[in-house]
């Protein structure tokens, strides 16, 4: 159990780097992390996921400038995702496939929050990965239909939104994102993702009264609910 939490935290640390570097077109390699304020190299013992942030009091060891809370936050979220997936499905190809999907979703969500854009460079290869992995999980047919349903659903939403609101309510990035989710979870998973994503989106964004709320994070939360509890929820509905 603890191993999965730690693994998630470490992987979250890597995702934090991607979220920062990918939109800025910086190289994503194993180059050392530096403090963006004073340029000092961050030592390994100051780079331990979650723990270092707490020990340093959220500040750089050298110049005492604030470390953004998002880094430990991304590490914690990824750690929880890894742990809950392992708890639900144990060790196997299904868990591996979901961990790949959830990691992509974490990166996509934070980039969407930052830039209001969901990069194709993550969602399109993601779709390919979902297709390949489906060979051992949901079957390649379901994965293909999942992509079609995911893309189709949001495409229809986008057209209706444009007719009603006279502006682009749904971005192309969101459409491809649900396609990627469909490639991992299949058509029913894509439907449930949209349903739960929209539900959480309405509950969260209505009180905020913001004009433009990125949909990527909500679709990601929807995918998480659909992937871990979708079958149980459907069984409950069928029984009643
Ligand atoms: Zn510094």
Report the pLDDT value the prediction gives residue 153, as an integer from 0 to 100.
94
Report the pLDDT value the prediction gives residue 240, as an integer from 0 to 100.
78
C-alpha of residue 108 to centroid of ligand 1, in Å: 27
C-alpha of residue 5 to centroid of ligand 1, in Å: 28
Residue 41's beta-bridge partner residues? 34
pLDDT, averaged per 10 consecutive residues of the chain (240 residues), comes to 92 92 82 83 90 95 93 96 96 96 97 93 96 96 97 92 80 94 97 95 81 88 96 86
C-alpha of residue 119 to centroid of ligand 1, in Å: 30
Report the pLDDT value the prediction gives residue 30, as an integer from 0 to 100.
61
Report the pLDDT value the prediction gives residue 168, as an integer from 0 to 100.
73
Measured distance CA(114)–CA(35) in Å, rounded? 20
Report the pLDDT value the prediction gives residue 96, as an integer from 0 to 100.
96
C-alpha of residue 67 to centroid of ligand 1, in Å: 9
C-alpha of residue 45 to centroid of ligand 1, in Å: 15
Three-state SS letters, 97-118 = HHHHHHHHHHHHHHHHHHHCCC
In angstroms, how far is the first alpha carbon of the chain from the final one? 34
C-alpha of residue 47 to centroid of ligand 1, in Å: 13
Report the pLDDT value the prediction gives residue 36, as an integer from 0 to 100.
83
C-alpha of residue 53 to centroid of ligand 1, in Å: 13
C-alpha of residue 58 to centroid of ligand 1, in Å: 11
C-alpha of residue 113 to centroid of ligand 1, in Å: 25
C-alpha of residue 59 to centroid of ligand 1, in Å: 8
C-alpha of residue 46 to centroid of ligand 1, in Å: 12
Q: How many CB atoms lie within 10 A of CB 96?
A: 15
C-alpha of residue 62 to centroid of ligand 1, in Å: 5
Measured distance CA(142)–CA(146) in Å, rounded? 6
C-alpha of residue 16 to centroid of ligand 1, in Å: 18
Report the pLDDT value the prediction gives residue 78, as an integer from 0 to 100.
97
């Amino acid at each position: 159990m603890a191993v999965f939490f730690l693994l998630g935290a470490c992987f979250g640390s890597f995702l934090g780097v991607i979220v920062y570097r990918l939109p800025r077109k910086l190289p994503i390699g194993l180059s050392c992390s530096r403090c963006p304020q004073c340029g000092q190299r961050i030592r390994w013992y100051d780079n331990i996921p979650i723990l270092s942030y707490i020990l340093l009091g959220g500040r750089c060891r050298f110049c005492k400038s604030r470390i953004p809370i998002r880094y430990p936050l991304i590490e914690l979220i990824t750690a929880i995702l890894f742990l809950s997936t392992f708890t639900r499905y144990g060790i196997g190809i299904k868990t591996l496939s979901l961990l790949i999907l959830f990691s992509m979703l974490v990166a996509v969500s934070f980039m969407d929050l930052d830039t209001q854009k969901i990069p194709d460079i993550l969602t399109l290869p993601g779709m390919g990965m979902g297709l390949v992995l489906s060979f051992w999980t949901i079957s390649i047919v379901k994965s293909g239909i999942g992509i079609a349903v995911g893309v189709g659903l949001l495409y229809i939403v986008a057209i209706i939104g444009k007719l009603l609101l006279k502006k682009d309510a749904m971005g192309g990035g969101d459409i491809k994102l649900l396609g990627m989710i469909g490639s991992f979870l299949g058509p029913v998973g894509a439907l449930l993702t949209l349903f739960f994503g929209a539900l959480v989106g309405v509950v969260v964004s209505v009180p905020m009264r913001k004009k433009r709320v990125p949909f990527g994070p909500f679709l990601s939360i929807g995918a998480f609910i659909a992937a871990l509890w979708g079958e149980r929820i459907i069984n409950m509905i069928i029984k009643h």
